[in-house]
Chain A
Amino acid sequence: MIAILDYGSGNLRSAQRAFELTGHKVVITSDSKTFLGADAFVVPGVGAFGACMKQLEDVGGASLVKEAVATTKPLFGICVGMQILFSQGEEKGSHSGIGFFQGSVAKLAAPVLPHIGWNTIDTNCATFEGLKDQMFYFVHSYAVKTAPADAQITWTTYGERFVAAVERNNIFGTQFHPEKSGDAGAKLISNWAARI
């Protein structure tokens, strides 16, 4: 079973459907016991970095996500759900993240924001096997621009180069939305789910 952490409003149904394509049962839950009892975890993200961290507090906060990671079972952070895996966010004030990765989430230097659209990626990450020439769907204005030393990074560019995906051991996160990235997104989710 894959558990999607529900800690705010938004479109979680699409994520649930996309992860269900892997053949696993997928639950959307705000209950920490149910969440931790799953075989793999999905942390989506809604709104601004700080607001997201604050909403996370209502369901167990950073410690719940840390507990999930400590199980060594796979965890997938999506969009702001990936951003909060980093140490710092600079959206609407400076905020602390969960801090699995050293790095700051800052506003993209681009003439048109939000960045809404499909991008190619630059990757050597095994999770992207078979997907190196594919495009993924992004919706965001903030991003991580400096790679943490201890992680595998997939890059993309919009205005400037930024982190499209980050991976270390059982932690995986994407700035783009795999659940909205058509067949390429489905394949990525399937690659990730193969480790469950």
Chain B
Amino acid sequence: MVQKTAEQVFIPLTVGGGIREVKDVDQLLRAGADKVSINTAAIKRPELIDEISARFGNQVLVLSVDARRADSPSGYEVTTHGGRNSGGMDALEWMREAVNRGAGEILLNSMDADGTRDGFDLEMIRAARSVVSVPIIASGGAGKLEDFAAALDAGADALLAASVFHFGTFTISAVKEFLAASGYSVRR
């Protein structure tokens, strides 16, 4: 699937799911992926981050973090299994460690905001922005056009939304037009 997609798509392609070791990454890159995203495998064995970034550079590695509010030092914890289970780690501490190990981007999924359409989790974005200096892709909670601008203002570098596009609430180009009109840099 990666190879077929890469044949047709001349924009960056990030592939996630099932990556357990360096050779999985090598295979995906050779098939045409530009980046890989890892989540559970890095929680189980954080050294995987060091191994992948040492071999391919940190720009290749997107760490996906499913975080939620919890009784944890920073107030946020890492979850697994789509937010059902606690990962037993503080989310901000985990992001800081992962970036030190070589993660080049953070895909920050707020399990609290996910599915609410009440807006991105601005508090969580600000908290993450204060501890890491790599790009943050914020995910979860997009419901209206203004939400995208607010998330960028909170410190996100890129935004992910799915349901508003799938359900046709508005189109991707509507978001881009809105952001461009509001003075944000966006490719059209």
A contact residues vs B (CB 8 Å cutoff): 9-14, 17-18, 46-48, 111-114, 116-120, 135, 137, 139-141, 177, 179-183, 185-186
Contact = CB atoms under 8 A, between A and B. Distances in A.
B12 A180 contact: yes
A46 B157 contact: no
B56 interface: yes
B11 A137 contact: yes
Q: Is the interface of A mostly helix, strand, loop or mixed?
A: mixed
Nearest to A10: B29
7 contacts: A9-B30, A11-B6, A11-B34, A12-B30, A46-B56, A113-B134, A119-B185
Interface in B1-58: 3, 6-7, 10-13, 26, 29-34, 55-58
Q: Is the interface of B mostly helix, strand, loop or mixed?
A: loop
Interface string B64-106: 0000000000000000000000000000000000000000110
A104 B157 CA distance: 28
B135 A114 contact: yes
A18 B10 CA distance: 7
B187 A135 contact: yes
A113 B30 contact: no
Contacts, number: 84
Nearest to B57: A47
Contacts of B26: 9
A52 to B, nearest CB: 10
Contacts of B12: 137, 139, 177, 180
A112 B128 CA distance: 12
A119 to B, nearest CB: 8
B59 interface: yes
B166 to A, nearest CB: 22
Contacts of A120: 185
A113 B133 contact: yes
B158 interface: yes
B157 A180 contact: no
